[in-house]
Amino acid sequence: MEKQLDLVAKSYDKGIDLGKKGIDSYDNFPSYITDNPNYPLFEQMRMDETLSDSARKDIVEYLAPKAGMRFIDLGCCLNLMFAGYKDWPSTYYGVDISSKTIELLQQYTAKNHVAVGDLHCCSMHETPYGTDFFDIGECIGSLEYFEKDFVRQAVAEFSRIMKSNGRFVLDIPNIGSPEFEITKLIEEYLGRQDQFDLSAEEFETILDAHFTIDKKEIVGPMIQYFLIRK
């Protein structure tokens, strides 16, 4: 688990460094990726912005952020900058394993006078927040990097920090779909190999101990779950 956390952190740190130089990690792939028969699906998903869609209107409509609410974004990446979360009336809290991601967000909030509750570098399975702390939350595009034991711990942590009846959105890979197979190949090339080893049914059994599934939807290579904390 620790080795995988380190690999994911280093991969996203590298992505931040490249981004500062104007280089997009998702450009200039080797031919074994671009010649893959599923690669056009990846290009279409990039165009449609459905690779890991934290900005879907379905999410904001479901979470229904309001002033006075605390919102936790687990595996936050740069969502505060690019997914519209800075405009939500709720108070934003972001957690990410990439220290350079958190540093960039801290610089962004300071420069643009964006008020947040907290930006913290840590793993999403062990956060510094109190029990029953958050009203709404999400974890998008993160669980696919980890095996069952980590996923189980992460879901338990999500439940711990959420208030009873709090709304939460997360996603897992749509394993076996051509959309996921090409993104999996690309993520491995980027140094953060997907290790998710659960069927949707097995994952839902883990969820059932903590959350009620309100609805689920297939979004690109992922399955998004809209949940209520029990």
- Predicted confidence at residue 26, as pLDDT, reads 84
- Predicted confidence at residue 47, as pLDDT, reads 78
Tell me how far CA of residue 135 lies from CA of 138, 163, 164, 194, 222, in angstroms.
11, 6, 8, 29, 24
- The conformational region for residue 28 under phi > 0 = left, psi -120 to 50 = alpha, else beta, is left
Please write the tens of the pLDDT for every residue from 54-64: 778 899 999 99
d(CA 113, CA 199): 43
Task: Check whether 49 has a pLDDT greater than 70.
Answer: no
**For residues 34-49, average pLDDT:** 87
Please write the tens of the pLDDT for every residue from 161-172: 999 999 999 999
Q: Is the dihedral angle over the CA atoms 62, 64, 69, 75 positive or is it negative?
A: positive
Please write the tens of the pLDDT for every residue from 97-150: 999 999 999 999 999 999 999 999 999 999 999 999 999 999 999 999 999 999
pTM (2 d.p.): 0.94
User: How many other C-beta atoms can be found within 10 angstroms of the C-beta atom of residue 183?
Assistant: 25
Q: Do residues 83 and 54 lie in contact, with contact meaning Cβ atoms separated by under 8 Å?
A: yes
d(CA 124, CA 138): 11
Q: Cβ neighbours of residue 107 under 8 Å, at least 6 residues apart?
A: none
HSE-CB of 228 using CA atoms within 13 angstroms: 6
- Predicted confidence at residue 59, as pLDDT, reads 94
d(CA 3, CA 75): 17
User: How many other C-beta atoms can be found within 10 angstroms of the C-beta atom of residue 188?
Assistant: 12
- Predicted confidence at residue 100, as pLDDT, reads 96
Closest to 204 in 3D by CA, of 219, 226, 220, 221: 226
- Predicted confidence at residue 99, as pLDDT, reads 96
H helices present in the chain, as ranges: 2-20, 31-34, 39-48, 57-63, 79-82, 99-112, 148-161, 178-189, 200-208
- Predicted confidence at residue 50, as pLDDT, reads 62
- Predicted confidence at residue 195, as pLDDT, reads 94
- Which amino acid, residue 140? I
